[in-house]
C-alpha cells in the first residue's frame, strides 16, 4: 500500500524525466504531492499564465496589422474592388470617405483596432448590419459543428488510439493505422458529398442540407448536424488515432510503467491513469492544432451543407467583396486561434507542471 | 556525434549482409550517409512512388495523351455513359471526363508545386537566419512566424484569394505563405541543434567560413525534418487545392480541376455518381501515396526524433 502511494506520487515522471534534466520539480517529490487545486493557484502557475498572456499580446497586435493591411491590398483599393474599375473618381472618393479610407493609414488602423476591442467590427458593406452582430449570429453554428466533431473524436478516436498503442503491432493496430491513413487522405469535401449522397439522398435517413436552430427544435437541429460533424470528425479522428497512439506508445515504454507492472498494478490503471496522464500534454497539443484546423474546415463543410455559420458567411462575403465583413471575421478567427493556443498551453501546464517549468 | 554513430553502425550491419547490399544500391532516394536501407523497398512504397510518378507524367503530358479537348463542349452528347469514344463518359456540358481529369491533374500538381516552392523558399532561409543569429534576429523572426501561425491555413488562403482575385497561383501562393512559418520553425530547431555539434565546431576551428559551414555542414544535417514536413504539406496542399477549387476560389471554371469538377458533378450526383467519385478518389489516392512516401522518408531522415519514437509522432497537421 505504501509502495502504491509512493508510485502514485511519482507518476509525473516518465517522459518528462527523459526529456528534461531531472530535479527541480517540487511537485513531483515526496508523498505529500500538492493537490491539483494548489497547482492551479500556485504562484508559479500564476506567473506562467501571466507570461503566456503577455506573450500573446504582441502576436495579436502583429496579426491585427496583417489583417488590416490585407484588406488594403485589394488591387486599386477597396473602393475600386467594390465599384469596379469603371467607377467614376467622384463615387470612388465618396465611398472612400464613407469607409474612412481617406484618413492616414495609422489613424485608420487605430480607429479600427479601438473599435474592434470594444466589439465594434464595423458595418457590413452588403447588408449594412453590424459585423459583430452577424458574427454573434453565425458563430454558434460553427461552434456547434466543431464541438460535435470534437466530441466524436474524443468518444471514438481517443480510445481507439489508446487501444492501438496497447496492442501495438497486432492486427487491430495495423487495421486502425491503415484506416486512419485513409482518413487522412480523403478530402473533407469529398467525404461530405459522399455522405450526403448515401445517407441524405439515397437512403433518406438524415436531412442532407440546411440548418434548424437548436432553440427551435433540438432534435431536428442534431439531425441536421450529424452529417456535417461526421464529415469533419472522421478526418480529425484519423489524426487523433495516430497521434494518441504514438504518444501512448511512448508513455507505455516509460520506466514507470514497467515498475507499476512489476508491482502488480492493474493494467487498466496503468494505461488509463499513469500512461494516459503522461501522454496528455502531447494529446492536448494535438487537440489544439486540431481545433484550429477544424475552424478552418468550417469554410468548406458549412458551404457544402448550407449551414449559416461563420465559415459559410466568410466564403459568401468573398463572393460579394464585403471587405469589412472579411476583415472582421478574419480577426475573430485569429482571436479564436490565439485563445485556443493559450488555453492549450495553460492546460498542459496544469497537467504537467514539469513541462511548464521549462 | 549522434549522427556519426548512427551512420557508422548501419555500415557495419551492411558489411555483415554482404551480397545483399550490392543488389539494392542505386534504388530509392538514399542520401549519401544513408547506406543502411539496402534491403528491398516495401511494396507499398514502390507502389506509391510508381503511382505518383505515373500521375505526374500523365499531368505533364496531358496535352499529348488526353483523347479530347477538356474545354470542348458537345451539348448534344451530355452526361454520356462511358464508351470507346469517351472512356469515362461526358459531363454536364458534354466534355470528355477523362481529358478533364488528366488536365485537372496539371493544376493540382502545379498548385502543390507552387505552395511547396513558396513554403520552402520562404521558410528555409527564414529558419536558417533565425537559427544562425538566434539572438535578436531569431527572436523577431520567430515572433513573425508565430503571428502567421495564428491564421488557420484555409482561412488565410481564402481571404487572400478573395482580396487578390481567385486563381490558382494566388491561392496556392497564400497556402505556401501559411506553410512557411512551420518550415521555418523546423529549420531553426535543426540548425540550433546541429550548430553545436562537434564536427561543426571543428570545421569552425579549422577556419571554414560561415557560409561554407552553413551550406556544407549545417543545412544537410538540419533539413531532414523539413523534407519530411514538406511531404506532409504536399499532401495537405493537394487537399487544400481541391477544397479551394471546390469552393470556386482556386482554378476557375471552365478550366478543369479535380475540386471544381467534383463540385459541378455533385449537382448531378444521382445520375452519374462516377463523376463525383473519380476526382475525389484521385485526390485521396495521391495524398495516400504522398503520405506513404513521407513515412519512409521520415524513417530515414528524421534526425531529431530518434528511432525509439513512433514514426507517426512528427506533426501530421499543418
- Tell me: the pLDDT tens digits for A208-245? 788 888 888 888 888 889 999 999 999 999 999 999 99
Q: What pLDDT is recorded for position B28?
A: 45
Mean pLDDT of A302-312: 93
**Higher per-residue confidence, B284 vs A102:** B284
Residue A14 φ/ψ, nearest 5 degrees: 60, -125
Tell me if chain A has a CB within 8 Å of the CB of B22. Answer: no
Chain B, residues 247-306, CB within 8 A of chain A, namely 247, 249, 259, 262, 266, 269-270, 273, 276-277, 280-281, 283-285, 287-288, 291-292
Distance from C-alpha of B155 to C-alpha of B46, rounded to nearest angstrom: 36
H-run or E-run covering A135: helix A131-152
Contact across the interface for B317 and A290, Cβ inside 8 Å: yes
User: Residue A31: helix, strand or coil by DSSP?
Assistant: coil
Task: Find out whether A123 and A324 touch, Cβ atoms under 8 Å.
Answer: yes
Distance from C-alpha of A79 to C-alpha of A72, rounded to nearest angstrom: 10
Residue of B nearest to A190 (CA): B280
Q: Can you state the angle between helices B168-194 and B224-247, rounded to 10 degrees?
A: 160
Task: Find out whether A287 and A236 touch, Cβ atoms under 8 Å.
Answer: no
**Cα–Cα distance list, A186 to B114, B190, B231, B238, B282 (Å):** 22, 31, 16, 10, 9
Mutation target vs A (from B111, B140, B151; most A CBs, 10 A cutoff): B151
**Higher per-residue confidence, A314 vs B204:** A314
Q: What is the pTM of this model?
A: 0.81
Give the angle subtended at the CA of B50 by the CAs of B44 and B55, to the nearest 5°: 125
Q: What is the CA radius of gyration of chain A?
A: 25
Task: Find out whether B158 and A300 touch, Cβ atoms under 8 Å.
Answer: no
Which class for A116: exposed (0-12), middle (13-18), buried (19 or more C-beta within 10 A)? buried
Distance from C-alpha of A257 to C-alpha of A15, rounded to nearest angstrom: 11
Distance from CA of B308 to the nearest CA of A (A): 8
Q: What pLDDT is recorded for position B318?
A: 34
Kindly provide the b/e burial profile for residues A291-301, where b requires at least 16 CB atoms within 10 angstroms of the residue's own CB.
bbbbbbbbbbb
Cell of A317: 462575403
Task: Find out whether A145 and A232 touch, Cβ atoms under 8 Å.
Answer: yes
Q: What pLDDT is recorded for position B222?
A: 80
Q: Which positions ≥6 away from B93 have C-beta within 8 Å?
A: B73, B74, B75, B78, B254
Distance from C-alpha of B178 to C-alpha of B149, rounded to nearest angstrom: 7
Q: What pLDDT is recorded for position A31?
A: 47
Contact across the interface for B163 and A74, Cβ inside 8 Å: yes
Contact across the interface for B317 and A286, Cβ inside 8 Å: yes
Kindly provide the b/e burial profile for residues B255-268, where b requires at least 16 CB atoms within 10 angstroms of the residue's own CB.
bbbbbbbbbbbbee
Q: Give CATH 1.10.3720.10 domain extents, chain A.
A: 48-357
Task: Find out whether A311 and A298 touch, Cβ atoms under 8 Å.
Answer: yes
Which string of DSSP letters, residue by residue, matches chain B? Answer: -HHHHHHHHHHHHHHHHTHHHHHHTT-S---TT--S--SPPPHHHHHHHHHHHHHHHHHHTHHHH-SS-TT---TTSTTPPP-SSSTT-B-TTS-BHHHHHHHHHHHHHHHHHHHHHHHHHHHHHHHHHHHHSTTHHHHHHHHHHHHHHTS-HHHHHHHHHHHH-S-HHHHHHHHHHHHHHHHHHHHHHHHHHHTTSHHHHHHHHTT--HHHIIIIIIHHHH-HHHHHHHHHHHHHHHHHHHHHHHHTSSSPTTS--HHHHHHHHHTTTTT-THHHHHHHHHHHHHHHHHHHHHHHHHHHH--SS-TTS-TT-S----
Distance from C-alpha of A314 to C-alpha of A48, rounded to nearest angstrom: 35
Q: What pLDDT is recorded for position A20?
A: 39
Q: What pLDDT is recorded for position A25?
A: 43
**Higher per-residue confidence, B302 vs A45:** A45
Distance from CA of A333 to the nearest CA of B (A): 7
Contact across the interface for A70 and B283, Cβ inside 8 Å: no
Mean pLDDT of A101-108: 84
Cβ-Cβ pairs closer than 8 A, A with B, add up to 163
Residues of chain B with confidence (pLDDT) below 50: 1-30, 303-318
Q: What is the 3-state secondary structure (H, E, C) of B246-264?
A: HHCCCCCCCCCCHHHHHHH
Taking CB atoms and an 8 Å cutoff, what residues of chain B touch A187? 239, 242-243, 259, 280, 283-284, 287
Taking CB atoms and an 8 Å cutoff, what residues of chain B touch A197? 269-270, 273, 276
Confidence bin at A49 (pLDDT 50/70/90): confident
Model confidence over A158-196: pLDDT tens digits?
999 999 999 988 999 999 999 998 999 999 999 999 999
User: Residue A299: helix, strand or coil by DSSP?
Assistant: helix
Q: What pLDDT is recorded for position B289?
A: 93
Q: Which of B175, B128, B118, B151 is nearest to A59 (CA)?
A: B151
**Cα–Cα distance list, B191 to A320, B116, B314 (Å):** 45, 20, 17
Q: What pLDDT is recorded for position B55?
A: 92
Kindly provide the b/e burial profile for residues A310-346, where b requires at least 16 CB atoms within 10 angstroms of the residue's own CB.
bbbbbbebbeebbbbbbbbbbbbbbebbbebbbebbb
Cell of B74: 458537345
Q: What pLDDT is recorded for position B35?
A: 52
Closest partner residue to B155 (CB to CB) among A60, A182, A333 is A333
DSSP assigned state of A271: I
**Is 3.10.20.30 the CATH classification of the domain at A48-357?**
no
Mutation target vs A (from B155, B236, B259, B292; most A CBs, 10 A cutoff): B155
Q: What pLDDT is recorded for position A7?
A: 41
Range of weakest confidence among A92-101, A111-120, B54-63: A92-101
Q: What is the 3-state secondary structure (H, E, C) of B64-125?
A: HHCCCCCCCCCCCCCCCCCCCCCCCCECCCCCEHHHHHHHHHHHHHHHHHHHHHHHHHHHHH
Interface predicted TM-score of the whole assembly (ipTM), two decimals: 0.81
Cis amide prior to B254 (ω within 30 degrees) = yes
**Higher per-residue confidence, B8 vs A271:** A271
Amino acid at each position: 500500500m505504501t509502495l502504491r502511494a509512493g508510485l502514485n506520487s511519482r507518476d509525473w515522471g516518465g517522459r518528462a524525466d527523459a526529456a528534461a534534466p531531472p530535479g527541480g520539480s517540487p511537485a513531483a517529490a515526496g508523498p505529500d504531492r500538492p493537490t491539483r487545486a494548489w497547482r492551479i493557484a500556485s504562484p508559479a502557475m500564476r506567473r506562467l499564465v501571466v507570461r503566456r498572456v503577455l506573450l500573446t499580446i504582441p502576436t495579436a497586435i502583429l496579426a491585427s496589422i496583417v489583417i488590416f493591411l490585407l484588406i488594403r491590398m485589394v488591387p486599386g483599393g477597396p473602393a475600386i474592388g467594390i465599384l469596379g474599375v469603371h467607377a467614376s473618381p467622384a463615387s470612388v472618393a465618396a465611398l472612400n470617405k464613407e469607409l474612412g479610407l481617406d484618413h492616414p493609414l495609422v489613424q485608420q488602423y487605430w480607429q479600427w483596432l479601438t473599435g474592434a476591442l470594444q466589439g465594434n467590427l464595423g458595418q457590413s458593406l452588403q447588408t449594412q448590419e453590424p459585423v459583430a452582430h452577424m458574427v454573434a449570429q453565425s458563430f454558434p453554428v460553427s461552434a456547434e459543428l466543431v464541438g460535435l466533431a470534437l466530441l466524436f473524436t474524443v468518444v471514438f478516436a481517443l480510445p481507439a488510439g489508446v487501444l492501438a498503442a496497447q496492442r501495438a503491432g497486432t492486427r487491430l493496430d495495423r487495421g486502425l493505422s491503415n484506416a486512419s491513413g485513409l482518413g487522412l487522405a480523403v478530402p473533407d469535401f469529398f467525404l461530405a458529398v459522399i455522405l450526403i449522397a448515401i445517407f441524405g439522398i439515397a437512403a433518406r435517413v438524415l436531412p442532407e442540407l440546411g440548418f434548424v436552430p437548436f432553440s427551435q427544435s433540438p432534435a431536428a437541429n442534431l439531425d441536421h448536424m450529424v452529417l456535417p460533424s461526421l464529415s469533419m470528425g472522421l478526418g480529425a479522428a484519423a489524426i487523433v488515432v495516430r497521434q494518441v497512439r504514438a504518444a501512448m506508445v511512448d508513455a507505455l515504454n516509460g520506466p514507470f510503467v514497467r515498475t507499476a507492472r512489476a508491482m502488480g498494478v492493474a493494467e487498466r490503471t496503468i494505461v488509463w491513469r499513469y500512461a494516459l496522464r503522461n501522454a496528455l500534454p502531447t494529446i492536448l497539443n494535438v487537440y489544439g492544432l486540431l481545433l484550429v484546423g477544424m475552424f478552418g474546415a468550417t469554410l468548406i463543410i458549412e458551404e457544402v451543407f448550407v449551414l449559416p455559420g461563420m465559415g459559410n458567411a466568410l466564403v459568401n462575403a468573398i463572393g460579394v467583396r464585403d471587405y469589412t465583413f472579411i476583415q472582421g471575421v478574419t480577426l475573430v478567427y485569429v482571436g479564436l486561434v490565439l485563445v485556443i493556443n493559450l488555453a492549450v498551453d495553460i492546460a498542459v501546464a496544469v497537467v504537467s507542471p514539469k513541462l511548464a517549468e521549462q | 556525434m549522434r549522427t556519426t554513430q548512427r551512420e557508422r553502425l548501419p555500415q557495419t550491419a551492411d558489411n555483415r549482409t554482404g551480397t545483399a547490399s550490392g543488389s539494392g544500391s542505386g534504388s530509392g532516394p538514399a542520401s549519401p550517409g544513408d547506406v543502411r536501407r539496402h534491403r528491398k523497398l516495401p511494396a507499398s512504397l514502390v507502389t506509391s512512388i510508381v503511382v505518383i510518378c505515373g500521375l505526374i507524367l500523365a499531368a505533364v503530358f496531358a496535352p499529348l495523351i488526353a483523347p479530347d479537348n477538356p474545354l470542348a463542349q458537345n451539348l448534344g452528347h451530355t452526361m454520356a455513359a462511358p464508351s470507346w469514344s469517351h472512356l469515362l463518359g461526358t459531363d454536364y456540358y458534354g466534355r470528355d471526363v477523362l481529358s478533364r481529369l488528366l488536365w485537372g491533374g496539371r493544376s493540382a500538381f502545379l498548385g502543390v508545386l507552387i505552395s511547396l516552392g513558396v513554403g520552402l523558399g520562404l521558410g528555409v532561409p527564414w529558419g536558417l537566419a533565425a537559427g544562425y543569429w538566434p539572438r535578436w534576429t531569431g527572436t523577431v523572426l520567430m515572433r513573425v512566424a508565430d503571428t502567421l501561425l495564428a491564421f488557420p491555413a484555409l482561412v488565410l488562403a481564402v481571404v487572400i484569394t478573395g482580396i487578390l482575385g481567385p486563381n490558382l497561383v494566388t491561392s496556392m501562393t497564400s497556402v505556401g505563405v501559411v506553410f512557411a512559418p512551420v518550415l521555418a520553425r523546423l529549420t531553426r530547431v535543426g540548425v540550433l541543434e546541429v550548430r553545436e555539434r562537434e564536427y561543426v565546431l571543428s570545421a569552425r576551428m579549422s577556419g571554414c567560413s560561415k557560409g561554407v559551414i552553413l551550406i556544407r555542414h549545417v543545412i544537410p544535417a538540419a533539413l531532414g525534418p523539413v523534407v519530411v514536413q514538406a511531404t506532409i504539406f504536399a499532401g495537405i496542399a493537394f487537399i487544400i487545392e481541391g477544397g479551394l477549387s471546390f469552393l470556386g476560389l482556386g482554378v476557375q471554371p471552365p478550366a478543369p480541376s479535380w475540386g471544381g469538377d467534383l463540385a459541378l458533378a455533385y449537382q448531378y450526383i444521382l445520375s452519374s455518381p462516377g463523376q463525383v467519385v473519380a476526382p475525389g478518389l484521385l485526390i485521396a489516392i495521391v495524398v495516400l501515396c504522398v503520405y506513404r512516401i513521407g513515412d519512409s522518408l521520415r524513417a530515414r531522415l528524421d534526425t531529431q526524433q530518434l528511432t525509439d519514437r513512433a514514426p507517426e509522432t512528427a506533426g501530421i497537421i499543418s
